[in-house]
Structure 1
């Protein structure tokens, strides 16, 4: 069971300090911390801390434009999801558990007709997690700034398609 809270400054600082091993070090925050801290704490960016049953920070998620990557086609209406798991907890086969909790939480908050995730193409672990949860490949694209490859996955929430 996970607890979701709007992110606070303490958890934002913790997340900014997380360091992933290469190849995954692309997810390390590298901008000046003050700029990122303001971005993460701004309510419009809807960042949430994800705590375990002991109240320990284990992951975070965001909803909306923060989950988009320049170069992708986001014309289809869907709720974009961003998510990060604490580095020492990655690669343990628990990704679907975290992602499913994020989907349930997002559904209760936003009740979207569709969910969307954008993932670096090399991140096969994350791609498998979201595909296991019913997400389908929509497009592959290149981020213009550095030519990094990304894929966009979509899941239409059939239960909620009448909303």
Structure 2
């Protein structure tokens, strides 16, 4: 697939925030599930140049955030359109995002955090070479959840 990464527009942010709804336990990832996260996602100044819309042939299929955590260490966040999840496309999507980060920045490590219940995503991350670092708990979506922090060592 030919993925294109572009700075997210307000229209794209609103589409994701208000129309992307995930099934079952994955509804945790609905932008509307947490008021603070929603407000930040919809604020173009807060998004700045760190949130990217992921397109294929002009169609919005996901998003990818990139922020510098330390020298040559970048933290990523990502999401695929709900109808595209669970169909074996995650590995290719993740690789495309990692290639994008490495082509844009000088990167030694890429980190990410994922809710520990999301074994489907954790399996993808481990498959591409992310290693477990540690776990932490965070208040979000009206409760407290455990997250796994993972790291990918770039060669």
Q: Same fold (TM over 0.5)?
A: yes
Match of 2:55 among 51, 56, 62: 51
- Provide the alpha-carbon RMSD of the alignment: 2.2
Contact 1:40/1:47, CA 8 A, preserved across alignment: no
Kindly indicate whether residue 88 of structure 2 is the aligned counterpart of residue 93 of structure 1. yes
Deviates more, 1:96-105 or 1:28-37: 28-37
* TM-score, normalisation: structure 1: 0.82
Displacement after TM superposition at 1:96 (Å): 0.4
1:86-122 alpha-carbon deviations (Å, 9 max, x no partner): 0010000110000000000001111211000100001
Larger strand percent: 2
Q: Residue in 1 aligned with 2:149?
A: 152
Displacement after TM superposition at 1:76 (Å): 9.0
Q: Which consecutive unaligned segments of at least 5 residues does structure 1 have?
A: 66-73, 159-163
Q: How does 1:115-126 map to 2 (within 5 A)?
A: 115-126=110-121
Count residues with an aligned counterpart.
148
Kindly indicate whether residue 139 of structure 2 is the aligned counterpart of residue 137 of structure 1. no
